Each structure stands twice: as C-alpha cells, then as structure tokens.
C-alpha cells in the first residue's frame, strides 16, 4: 500500500510504500518529547515529493538517525538512518500520515532511553 504524508504546513510531502501494521513508540528523550510513532521502512520505499530546501535536520546521541523537520512549521515527518546491518532506512512518523487510523495499529514500546 502507498501512504501519503506531510509536515503540518504541507511544504514537505512524501509517499511511503509498505504494509503498516505496527509502530514503534520509543521512550528516549527525543522521541518521547516529540510524541513520535515510528514505522521503519527501507529508504527506497520513501519518495519525497517536494523540494527538500525546507528540510532541516537534527541528530543527537550516536548521530545515527537524521531526524528531518520542516524549517517553516517545525513538524517532523520522517528521519533517515541505517539499520544494524547497515541498510538505509527511513523512520516514518506515523502521526504525519493523515489517512492512517492509528487505533488499528499495534504500538510496540521500545526502551530507547537505555541505549
């Protein structure tokens, strides 16, 4: 299935392809403050539909995920990084996929605070 997502103001739009059945809820200092629900997909399943000039990037801790956010509205629709095997992945913020009914998803808690 293909899902459409965006930041709040719509300057960043994208599509992501895959089967969305669960999302990760991490308790690290960054994810918990932002309220992320993350869905990890191979990077080639994410297609950014708008120019990326409004994308800003934040990294912290081990600097393995580039958390992207809109420089205009501040919304953080996705990030990019590598999985433990070195494969490129996209971390999709499910809250930025407006047509997803989050009540149907399995929410998987992750103890990122301990990493």
**How far apart (Å, rounded) are the C-alpha atoms in residues 17 and 3?**
6
Residue 88 has pLDDT above 90, yes or no: yes
**How far apart (Å, rounded) are the C-alpha atoms in residues 88 and 86?**
7
User: 35: left (phi > 0), else alpha (psi -120 to 50), else beta?
Assistant: left
> How confident is the model over 9-21, as pLDDT tens digits?
999 999 999 999 9
**How far apart (Å, rounded) are the C-alpha atoms in residues 50 and 48?**
6
Task: Please check whether residue 26 is in contact with residue 32, taking contact to mean a CB–CB distance below 8 angstroms.
Answer: yes
Determine phi and psi for 34, rounding to 5 degrees: -85, -20
Dig out the tokens for 18 from the structure: 């895959």
Angle at 74 between CA 9 and CA 13, to 5 degrees: 45
Q: What is the mean pLDDT of residues 82-92?
A: 94
Prediction pTM value: 0.91
């Amino acid at each position: 299935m293909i899902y459409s997502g965006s930041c709040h103001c719509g300057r960043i739009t994208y599509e992501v392809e895959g089967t969305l059945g669960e999302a990760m809820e991490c308790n690290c200092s960054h994810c918990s403050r932002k309220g992320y629900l993350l869905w990890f997909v191979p990077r080639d399943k994410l297609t950014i539909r708008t120019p990326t000039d409004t994308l800003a990037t934040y990294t912290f801790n081990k600097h393995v995920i580039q958390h992207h956010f809109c420089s205009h509205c501040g919304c953080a629709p996705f990030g990019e990084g590598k999985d433990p095997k070195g494969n490129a992945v996209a971390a999709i913020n499910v809250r930025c996929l407006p047509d997803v009914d989050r009540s149907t998803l399995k929410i998987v808690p992750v103890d990122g605070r301990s990493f």
